[in-house]
Amino acid sequence: MNKINHTLRDPNQPVAVPVPAATVLLVRDTDEGLQVFLMQRAKKTNFGGAWVFPGGKIDPSDNHPKYASLSPKLSDANASSNLGINDGGLQYWVACIRECFEECGVLLAYAEDEKNVVFKNLKDQNFFDLRKKISIGEKSFYEFLDDNQLVLATDNVAYISHWVTPEIEKRRYSTRFFIAACPSHDALHDGEENTASLWINPNLALEQFEKGTLPMIMPTIQNLKLISKFNNTNDLLIEMKNKNLVDIPVVEPKFEIINGEAKLVG
């Protein structure tokens, strides 16, 4: 079985405070049914070797006041209410969309003057350069959107689950998971943090995990199970958008080190 690179906390060190993060399940319809986009983390990274969804930690710039005008269909107040927090909710949608663009090149946005949502996928020759510049902070994501007269498709990104990294891990995240229909089939991993990618039916992904050929961590597995009963994106997104906050508990698995290995205990 393929190994996943876990960075476990020194038991003599204090438990790390979870860092806010956002992740998105990109889904699409095919002749073979529903598919979801997965990427394999580079071996040197945390959770290296695992197949995951696009995502990452919240960046301070994700809370820039400019985003209020770039999200005409979702205010910070409504986003915060959807997450069950007092304020700052919009930055999770921003981070979700930004990370999706940086990591796999899919831009969940539409032109300011369009009445109907039309997702965009850029096909410029400097595509990877643009993603890299935004990723390392050489270019701000909100300036890129503003320069191209684009607004975020926040109303088409649904919040579906909330997972917190176990206390035994050195690096911990409080990750909100979202779901969105992919605007095209051109998603592609960045080649640095993620070294491979694929589109796959959720049930097939779970089967390959059980066989040991597709290593995954618990949040990925459980979110795949959450969408595995659906046959198309329309039905899936309708149900996910209608989820209530009470249907989205905070899940924090409990592990202990037993005989040198991490074992799930709750």
Is the predicted pLDDT of residue 59 greater than 70, yes or no? yes
Confidence of residue 136 (pLDDT cuts 50, 70, 90): confident
Q: Is residue 145 part of a domain?
A: yes
In a domain, 1, yes or no: no
Written as six digits, the tokens of 235 are 């039905």
Positive/negative CA dihedral, 75, 77, 83, 86: positive
Domain membership flag for residue 33: yes
Classify residue 5: in a domain, yes or no: no
Among 38-47, 89-98, 134-143, the range scoring the smallest mean pLDDT is: 38-47
**Residue 250: inside a domain:** yes
Residue 8 lies in a domain: no
Residue 249 lies in a domain: yes
User: 41 exposed, middle or buried (CB, 10 Å; 0-12, 13-18, 19+)?
Assistant: buried
Residue 154 sits in a domain of what CATH number?
Answer: 3.90.79.10
Instruction: Tell me the one-letter amino acid at 211.
Output: K
pLDDT category at 142 given cuts 50, 70, 90 is: very high
> Residue 73 and residue 156: Cα distance in Å, rounded?
9
For 28, list phi and psi in degrees, rounded to 5.
Answer: -150, 160
Q: Which pLDDT tens digit goes with each residue over 149-192? A: 889 999 889 999 999 998 888 889 999 999 999 986 577 777 67
189 Cβ contact list (under 8 Å, min separation 6): 39, 40, 103, 104, 195, 196, 197
Query: Which range marks the domain in which residue 146 is found?
Result: 19-264
Amino acid 254: pLDDT: 83
In a domain, 86, yes or no: yes
How many domains does the chain fold into?
Answer: 1
How much is the pTM? Answer: 0.89
Where does the pLDDT of residue 37 fall: very low under 50, low under 70, confident under 90, or very high at 90 and above? very high
Dihedrals phi, psi of 80, to nearest 5 degrees? -65, -40
pLDDT exceeds 50 at position 118: no
Please give the pLDDT value at position 111.
81
